[in-house]
Amino acid sequence: GQSLEQPSEVTAVEGAIVQINCTYQTSGFYGLSWYQQHDGGAPTFLSYNALDGLEETGRFSSFLSRSDSYGYLLLQELQMKDSASYFCAVPNQAGTALIFGKGTTLSVSS
Amino acid sequence: DTEVTQTPKHLVMGMTNKKSLKCEQHMGHRAMYWYKQKAKKPPELMFVYSYEKLSINESVPSRFSPECPNSSLLNLHLHALQPEDSALYLCASSPSQRTSGRGETQYFGPGTRLLVL
């Protein structure tokens, strides 16, 4: 089956850089996705890595190492509005639906 | 329009009630999903519809009954729920089911927060 591990909580201050790690165990692998969810809100797609390396989108970057079954989400120039839960996700074995990690709660303080 | 809408936003129901949750998207997506999310937990997949046909049922109790009347609409009919079914119910869509696992963005609706008394 598929399983993902990510830290439950991360705290940081405004302007800082934070890295949220995700390790996965899968039967077959297509790629690693990241979603953000604010309290009371819907998950929103942040990024996707199918190949090794770094993908950059503004202040957010995502990295994947398929050989290590590991990825991370890097958030730079943190803002208070970045306080949210962040989920890594991988496809199920059949590649027909997403399996989410347990989520990392990021708290950004001033 | 990259929006998935869900109604109602909040729902309180008794264990003997029958209610329905509604989800709508107009992005032309052919895969639609129901997830259940408890507080501080990740979304858990319940059902997947692909081209208006039920593709995945993650062993969900029969008191939850999904329906896909057309390619834009997805319903979740609720009957004889239990208090432990109280949760946020999220609807999502993606261009197709086959590619959703390959990183196609899933677009989530805002959810219906359900309380079963």
B45 to A31: CB separation less than 8 angstroms, yes or no = no
Which of B36, B45, B89 is the mutation pick for testing A, counting most A CBs within 10 A?
B45
Calpha distance B75→B72 (Å, rounded): 10
Nearest residue in chain B measured CA to CA from A102? B42
Are A73 and A46 within 8 A, CB to CB? yes
Calpha distance A58→B95 (Å, rounded): 25
Condensed to tens digits (0 to 9), the pLDDT of residues B8-43 reads 999 999 998 999 999 999 999 999 999 999 998 999
Collapsed DSSP state (helix, strand, coil) of residue B106: coil
B102 to A103: CB separation less than 8 angstroms, yes or no = no
Question: Among all chains, which residue has been given the structure tokens 């079954």?
Answer: A69
Residue B100 touches partner A, C-beta closer than 8 Å: yes
Higher pLDDT, A63 or B100: A63
A87 to B42: CB separation less than 8 angstroms, yes or no = yes
Spatial CA neighbour of A20 closest among A81, A66, A94, A82 = A82
- Measured between its terminal Cα atoms, the distance across chain B in Å is 36
B101 to A100: CB separation less than 8 angstroms, yes or no = no
Percent of chain B with pLDDT over 70: 93
Q: What is the mean pLDDT of each run of 10 residues along chain A (110 residues)?
A: 92 97 88 93 92 93 96 97 96 83 96
Q: What is the largest CA-CA distance in chain B?
A: 41
Are B103 and B1 within 8 A, CB to CB? no
